[in-house]
Amino acid sequence: MLTLAILTLFGLTACEMPELPSWAKMPSFSFGGEGAENSAAEDCATGTVGKYLAMDWAAAKHTNIYNRKTKLVPSTVVLTANSANIIRLYNGSKGTWSFRADEFFRSVVVVSVLYGNKLVSAPCLEGIKIGSLKWAELSLVPLRQGEYPFGGDEATFGLPFSSPPETGKFIVR
C-alpha cells in the first residue's frame, strides 16, 4: 500500500513539472569563427582599393604558405612592392589556424580575400582564421619595402614542454 501511495505521489508531481525543451529547440553553438578579421580603418595603409583593381591580377605572383604540424613552409616569402600578389594560406593541421601578420597587413592594400568559396572585401585586415584542412587566398599589393613577421597566435599558456607557434617573415623589395 505504501508503495502505491509513493508511486501515485510521483505520478502527480510529474504532471506539475515544467516541460523540458527538445534538442531541436535548443540554441546551437558554433565554434567556427573562421574567415577574415577586419581591423580598424586607421591601421590601414594609405591608398584606395579601387585603383589596384585594374592591375594585371592574371600575371600576379602566387605564393603558397602551408601550416604543417611542426612548421610553416616556406618560412620566408619574398614579394615585390607595388605589384600584384596572391598569397594562398593552407591549414594542414588539426584545429583552427589564426594567421597573423599585423605590420605586414598595415603596409599593404588587401584587394580581396577568398575563403570558403566566398569572396570578401577586407581592405583593413587584422588576420585570418583558417579551419582545419582549409585554405584562404589573399589578393594584395605591398606598398612599403621591409621585413614583416608572420605566424599564428595559438596560445601555449606557458605549459612546460609546449612550443611557441611557428613564425616566418615577408620580405618586400
In-domain check, residue 54: yes
In-domain check, residue 1: no
In-domain check, residue 99: yes
Count the domains in the chain. 1
Neighbouring-strand partners of residue 110: 140
pLDDT over 60 (residue 162): no
Cβ distance 168 to 151 under 8 Å?
yes
In-domain check, residue 154: yes
In-domain check, residue 70: yes
In-domain check, residue 103: yes
**What CATH number is given to the structural domain containing 148?**
2.60.40.420
Domain that holds residue 57: 34-172
> pTM to 2 decimals?
0.71
In-domain check, residue 156: yes
Dump pLDDT digits (tens) for 37-91. Answer: 766 555 565 456 778 888 999 999 999 999 987 789 999 999 999 999 999 999 9
